[in-house]
Amino acid sequence: MIPKSGNRFSDKIMLGTMTARQRISRGYGMKKILASLALLGLVAAGIGATGTGASAQEEAHNEAAPTHFPIDEPKEMDWSFAGPFGTYDKAQLQRGLKVYKEVCSACHSMNLVAFRTLEGLGYSDAQIKTLAAEYTIHDGPNDAGDMFDRPGKPSDHFPPPFPNEEAAAAANGGAAPPDMSLLAKARGVERGFPRFVFDIFTQYAQGGPDYIHSLLTGYDQQPPAGMVIPEGTHYNPYFLSGVSLKMPKPLSDGQVTYDDGAPQTVDQYSRDVSAFLMWAAEPHLEDRKKTGFRVLVFLLLFGALVYLTKRKVWAGVAH
Ligand code: HEC
């Protein structure tokens, strides 16, 4: 192609006689800056592309010895409590509590959750009393200085399955099952660029439940050939800190009986218990979101009023 050399030539001559300011005002400076920025971007993208290409190749080579965890990213699920107007699905939370009571509580404590707070799941005071009384609480000392057992009260917390962390670890092959009170907020997989930027706008804060659901449903997969799975551990490509963990697959189809007709599958149990754990970690999520929305509406209205006031105050001043 023949370049429009005439134009370019005359441009060059003109550029030579212009001051820097003129150049910028005529758009030459800006164009140059933009062009160099674009070039920088291209170079960076190129480096990025070759970088990911290389690491993808490496992965293909060493599937049996992965260098980053989790091996698979957690699946993003639809949660009723997602987004700015999210609310908990009480029926789901009640099912999740049932899964925790019948399965997870055999190994995992939930020390920070009191029975009385279960009213957030839609239970009445009487129901909570009955539920608390099903538990035996180790209390004391009494007047004689002895510890004693008594039935639970609404003000009690869920009793732990093991007397101390050492006992919990000893019963589980050396790894103590973590306390579940805040687990849904304590776990989550880094989202990386650019997703964490979008997350600000979509208000993504479900990393914990997404992770727990994927972990619980991620047990049935076969490890790649040649991968070394330490004895007494179980392969799970969603586990955050290694190829396998000490927790055996806790759920199987039909294990917990639901009386509201929800499917009795590992997938459904995992969703329900993850939602329940989110509630346990953040029982006031709905209030927080409601207040946040009201504050934003207030700020918008207030901002508009301040602007109108400013216009009124300065209306008579020449400027
Ligand atoms: C047989 C005992 C046992 C049962 C039952 C059990 N867990 Fe665990 N869980 C463990 C142990 C042990 C660990 C620690 C594993 C490790 O660090 O290797 C663990 C760890 C976890 C973790 C944390 C993983 C991480 O990233 O550190 C989650 C989440 C979890 N369990 C969820 C559950 C849920 C939900 C249930 C009920 C459906 C459940 N567990 C039932 C023993 C159990």
Taking only the tens of pLDDT, the chain with its 319 residues reads 444 444 444 444 444 444 444 444 444 444 454 455 555 554 454 444 444 444 455 545 578 889 889 999 999 999 999 999 999 999 999 999 999 999 999 999 999 999 999 999 999 999 999 999 999 999 999 999 999 999 999 999 999 999 999 999 999 999 999 999 999 999 999 998 999 999 998 889 999 999 999 999 999 999 999 999 999 999 999 999 999 999 999 999 999 999 999 999 999 999 999 999 999 999 999 999 999 999 999 999 999 999 999 999 999 998 7
**Do residues 183 and 277 make contact, with C-beta atoms less than 8 angstroms apart?**
yes
Say whether 192 sits in a helix, a strand or coil: coil
Give domain limits for the chain. 5-61, 90-113+157-292
| Residue 242 Cα distances to 63, 68, 175, 297, angstroms | 13, 8, 13, 45
Q: Cis bond leading into 194, ω under 30°?
A: yes
Residue in the structure block whose two tokens are 């057992």: 149
pLDDT at 25: 44
Cα 23 to chain centroid distance, Å, stands at: 50
Spatial distance between the Cα atoms of 279 and 193, rounded to a whole number of angstroms = 28
Task: Choose the residue to mutate in 71, 95, 108, 266 for probing ligand 1, maximizing ligand atoms within 8 Å of C-beta.
Answer: 108
- Phi/psi at 81 (5° precision): -95, 10
Report the predicted TM-score, pTM, of the whole model to 2 decimal places.
0.81
Distance in Å, CA 278 to ligand 1 centroid: 15
Buried/exposed 204-238: b ≥16 CB within 10 Å, e otherwise = bbbbbbbbbbbbbbbbeeebeeebeeeeebbbbbb
Which ligand 1 atom sits closest to the C-alpha of 183?
A: 29
pLDDT at 132: 97
Q: Please state whether 247 falls in left (phi above 0), alpha (psi between -120 and 50) or beta.
A: beta
The domain 90-113+157-292 having CATH identifier 3.30.1700.10: the answer here is no
Q: Output DSSP code: residue 221.
A: P
**Do residues 183 and 281 make contact, with C-beta atoms less than 8 angstroms apart?**
yes
